[in-house]
Structure 1
Amino acid sequence: MSIYEESTNPKLGRSKMNLEVIKLGDGWKHYHLKNEKGMEVSILNYGGIITRLLAPDRHGQLENIVLGYKDLKDYKSDSNFFGALIGRVAGRIEKSSFQWEGKNYLLEANDGANHLHGGSQGFHQVLWNAEPFQTSKSVGLVLSQRFLAEQDGYPGNLTVRITYSLTNDNQLVIDYQAKSDQTTPLTLTNHSYFNLSGRLKRTVHNHVVTMKSERYVELDEQLIPTGKILNAEQSSFDFRRGRKLKEGISSEDKQNLIAGGGYDHYFIFQEAEEEVIVVTEKESGRRLTIHTDQPGVVMYSGNQMSDELELSEGSSKKHLGVCFETQASPASLHHEGFPSVELKADQPYAKQTIFTFDTF
């Protein structure tokens, strides 16, 4: 059934929402979700990867605003984590090890001496069980999987359930749920690269970001937290009143230079804030608003992206997309005072991030 056709559900009546599933071989399936306003999201059961997201500009023109590969099989060897689910622990773990309840755990070193985004066989490389759904207000996909204790170096048998919901209010809601039979580190996120210009027409230099954060985490030369939390005031890291990304990309601030010209830093949110991040792109008129119950976000401005990748709308280049990885901080495994990644045994993990798309 084509996503461009109206569908009829006996319980819902006639609806312009639609869902299409394409089988790709090797167990891969590509799910295309469409809401009543025409917004579309495409997701692979492999890695839970968001491959495409069509959102309107101020003239109603629907265009893709996330980075993804032209050839879907390139996701198998993707070092950029385009659109992927990240776990068990999003971010870098120093020296690929941590001590937990008196035991030392060694993880795969897949980023120099450090462990990045759950390792080379993290959630982004998993073939997830997938179940599509449709309600009167949304169309979506539930992904689930079970991970055995220490198969990836982490303690605890872990069950995970991720729900993507595309609503008729042009919201993409991601609900993360998990439970472990042992206390374990866990913080999950999605690694989509956004470019609100549409079809990668421009880099993200002139994207304006407003963020409710006055503190960010200092990094060393290996992009590992030093243990210091810095005050963002009067720096290129202060987004409370809005700032173009190019100000950090071109900044001579040591922290911007360490990141490769831009941002790859964890920002700690101010408490009791609901609307924590707003991103705008003036020429298209698109606006992205992010709400989350996570304590912070890694904002990554695509500083390490090479220029030889074949993407769905052209070749890759530095600063072609910006990620907002809502999560807790893996620095809490080695330092005090950081948002904790601890999930206690048999306690539910439940986090939500909502991406709202509109125009101004």
Structure 2
Amino acid sequence: MTTEPLHTEAEATKDRHRTGAGPATRRTVLAGAAAVGLTAAVTGQARAASGGRAPARELFGRLADGTKVHRWTLENGGTRLKVLSYGGIVQSLEIPDRRGRRTNVSLGFDNLDDYLTATTFFGALIGRYGNRIAGGRFTLDGRTYQLPLNDGPNTLHGGTKGFDKRVWDVEPFTDATGVGLVLRHISPDGEMGYPGTLKVKVTYTLTPRGTWRIDYAATTDRATVVNLTNHTYFNLAGEGSGDVYGHELTLEASRFTPVDTTLIPTGELARVAGTPFDFRTGKPVGRDIRAGHPQLVRGQGFDHNWVLDKGLTTAPRPAATLRDPGSGRTVRIATTEPGVQFYSGNFLVGTLTGTAGRIYRQGDGLCLETQHFPDSPNQPSFPSTVLRPGDTYRSTTEHSFHA
């Protein structure tokens, strides 16, 4: 990671004149200026290698207690990403269509107040535990922990004040891997009922190819459960342009986890073959969404976890592909995670106004949340989400964009 030089050569020259430096001093100052110039050149080379602009920051709003919320803009490889320090929220994601026209393809708001009151998790970093935990309760090492309930009888996305409602510490960077942000948050022992002080680091990177990469890392001082993800809603035709039912979706999964009436997995890993849940060869999102399958009735559409055929991997491998035939925009998602929650925006009911000033209705965006399975702390047959002291939670997801 490179850093900006503290002084420029011009500033060094001003210092020389202010001090009335003699010849020997001038040689020393000029040598220092040359070194600074070299630092600037190295920084410039890193930016040239990354192909992006240095991250830019602006004030987006303030919380009731006066805490400032900033918006950071990242740009590289044709992709422009705008991120809030509040919730690590992706407020805007702009990518080009087949004609090179760049449009925001993520749902969100143009002001902080709406993010503070909405329950849609638009673009947010989710934790400590993404998705649902049955009854808001789990037992770990013989002790039972109770979490706040915020989704009927269950806990969803960490609880009533999860990571999506915290102001993160943000550090920008520009290096050979691209341009990006390092977001940090410390969740104290007992926060939202979870055990252990959890130190979280999430890195957003835009690569020279315009790929958006998310690297998650976390450590704890007591055994706990962790399942981090991002909750961006995609509409590749453009935010506010209508529903996504014509988008073509491919999921690299031959099984999914059916749910009960409160959307908690039953524990079964059901085959998708012969059901509306079969996206292995790709099909329009809306083709089967109104079929009378009992699982679609329970979710009011798709709101289920797909079990990726690749399983849990050390490096990102293909998980999902989403394409809008009209614009030609495509996002390919690769991840280290064993599952992806496909949510078809079923609970957007026309009560929210988005970034472009248009009302969001059912199906106007969809989520592809890479993660471990819902309710894993209560499902021994699912991949474990337990993190213990001395271990590091790591997860990576990449979004590559094409047109």
TM range (shorter): over 0.9
- 385, 389, 395: which one aligns with 1:341: 385
Any conservation in 2 of the 1:107–1:153 contact (CA below 8 Å)? Answer: yes
User: 2:360, 2:402 → 1: CA distance?
Assistant: 26
Equivalence for 2:304:
265
Distance in 1 (CA, whole Å) between partners of 2:239 and 2:299 is 26
Deviates more, 1:130-139 or 1:319-328: 130-139
Structure 1 equivalent of residue 331 of structure 2: 288
CA distance in structure 1 between the aligned counterparts of 2:129 and 2:392, rounded to whole angstroms: 16
**Partner residue of 1:321?**
365
2:29 corresponds in structure 1 to: none
Please say if residues 160 and 192 of structure 2, whose CA atoms lie closer than 8 Å, have aligned partners that are also in contact. Answer: no
1:311 aligns with 2:354: yes
- Whichever residue aligns with residue 186 of structure 1, its letter is V
Q: Is the 8 A contact 2:236 2:327 kept in 1?
A: yes
Match of 2:58 in 1: 22
1:236-251 paired onto structure 2 within 5 Å:
236-251=276-291
CA deviation string 1:176-203 (max 9, x = no partner): 0000111111010000000001233231
C-alpha distance in 1 between matches for 2:40 and 2:71: 21
Once residues 104 and 232 of structure 1 are traced to their aligned partners in structure 2, the CA distance between those partners, rounded to angstroms, is 34
Structure 1 residues 34-86: Cα deviation after superposition (integer angstroms, max 9, x where no partner): 11x43200000100000000000000000000001122321111200000000
Aligned to 1:351: 395
Alignment deviations for residues 270-305 of structure 1 (CA, whole Å, 9 cap, x no partner): 027822211111000011000000000111000011
CA deviation string 1:111-166 (max 9, x = no partner): 11110100111000011010011113411000001111112201111100000001
Residue number in structure 2 paired with 1:143: 183
Distance in 2 between residues matched to 1:124 and 1:147, nearest whole Å: 12
Counterpart code for 2:362 = K
The answer to whether the 8 Å contact 1:65/1:195 transfers is yes
Which of 195, 199, 222 is equivalent to 2:235? 195
Higher strand share: 1
**Structure 2: where are the runs of 5+ without partners?**
1-38
Q: How does 1:1-360 map to 2 (within 5 A)?
A: 10=41, 11-13=43-45, 15=48, 17-18=52-53, 19-23=55-59, 24-25=61-62, 26-35=67-76, 37-260=77-300, 262-271=301-310, 274-313=317-356, 314-359=358-403
Displacement of 1:108 in angstroms is: 0.2
Q: Give SS of 2:288's match.
A: helix
* Greater gyration radius: 2
Residues 19-38 of structure 1: CA deviation (Å, up to 9, x unaligned) = 21002332211001111x43
Mapped contact 1:248–1:263 kept (Cα < 8 A): no
Gaps of 5+ in 1: 1-7
Give TM-score scaled by structure 2 length: 0.84
The amino acid that maps onto 2:71 is: H
Number of corresponding residues = 350
Give the counterpart letter for 1:352 in structure 2.
T
